[in-house]
Each structure stands twice: as structure tokens, then as C-alpha cells.
Amino acid sequence: MIWFVLIAFLGGASVSLSRQINGRLSLSTSAMHASFWNHIVGFGLLSLMALAFGGLFAPGTAEAPYWAYLGGTIGVVFIALSSWLVAKIGAAQTALLIIAGQMISGVVLDIVMGAPGNPLARIIGVALILAGMWLSQRKR
């Protein structure tokens, strides 16, 4: 169990590390350049892994809805925005506000798509996040 927790923790830390590295690249180039390099380097690495281990194409792949292929387009904008933000407002603020946006829109998506969930927990969770955002945004 300790091993799983350690890997999950490192997985989270790697999100911030990758953002820090892309942010540094954007300081020398631009946020969109950083996003481009992030994607092409990842693409190269994953292609090598596909060649080495196989298993890239599975039966049923062709049946995915067309909109499921739009993740990369969103990812380009996401990486560019977060590379720009991390150099401006710091890693912790960037991470916190992105998490806030992800959590609250996650609740909205869940409700829209009819996913089951506890309404009271959703209200309390969203209220705490909004309170935290209000606090960090208030004029000093």
C-alpha cells in the first residue's frame, strides 16, 4: 500500500514538475512553443514505447466518437496557458486555481451527464473551493 501511495504521490508531483519545466522553456521561447515541445517530445517517447512494446491499436478503436479525438487540441491550449501562468503567479497558485476549476467543472459535468453523487457533499465541496478562491483573490 505504501508503494502505491508513493507512486500516486510522485505522479502528482510530476504534474507540477512538468509544469515548472515547461514554464522555464516558455521564459526563453513562448508559452505556445513550450506546449509544442511538450507534445512532440511526448509523442516521440510514446511512439518509441509503442514500437518497443506494441499494443497501440486495439480492436474497437475505430468505434470511438469523433469528439473523443479532440483531447489533444484542448491539451495544447491547456499546456500553453499553464506554462504562462506558472511563470507569472507561481507553481502553488497555478496548481490550486487549476484544481479549483477542474473540481467545480467536474461537478457540473457529472450533473449534466447524470453521474450519481451526494448533493450535500457536492455543495459543501464547491462552497469550500469558492471560499478558498475568494480568499486568495481578495485585495491585500
Partner 1 sequence: MDPRPYHFLTAFGAGILLSLMVLFNGTLATYGSLLFASWVPHATGTVVALVFLALMRPKKASKARPPLWAYAGGVVGAFTVMATSYTMNTALALSGTLAVGLAGQMVFSLIADARGMLGLPQKIPNARDWAALALIVAGSLILIFFGGAA
Check binding of 67 to partner 1 (CB under 8 A): yes
Phi-psi region of 90 (alpha: psi -120 to 50; beta: other; left: phi over 0): left
- Asked if 2 is part of the footprint of partner 1 (rule: CB under 8 A), the reply reads no
**Binding to partner 1 by residue 118, rule CB under 8 A?**
yes
Q: Which of residues 75-104 bind partner 1 (CB under 8 A)?
A: 75-82, 84-104
Compute the least distance from the CB of residue 17 to partner 1, in Å.
Answer: 5
Sign, Cα dihedral of 97, 109, 12, 8: positive
Least distance (Å) between residue 127 CB and partner 1 = 7
| 112 binds partner 1 per the rule CB under 8 A | no
Site for partner 1 in 26-65 (CB under 8 A): 26-47, 49-50, 53, 55-58, 60-61, 63-65
CA 95 to CA 114: how far, in whole Å? 28
> Taking the complex as a whole, how short is the minimal distance between the CB of residue 107 and partner 1, in angstroms?
6
The reply on whether position 114 binds partner 1 by CB under 8 A is no
Say how many Å lie between the first and final Cα of the chain, rounded: 43
Closest approach of partner 1 to the CB of residue 48, in Å: 10
| Overall residue count recorded for the chain in this entry | 140
Instruction: State which of positions 7-26 bind partner 1 (CB under 8 A).
Output: 7-26
How far apart, in whole angstroms, are the C-alpha atoms of residue 8 and residue 124?
26
Supply the minimum distance, in Å, between the C-beta of residue 54 and partner 1: 9
Q: Helices (DSSP H) in 1-140: which residue ranges?
A: 2-28, 31-53, 71-89, 91-112, 119-137
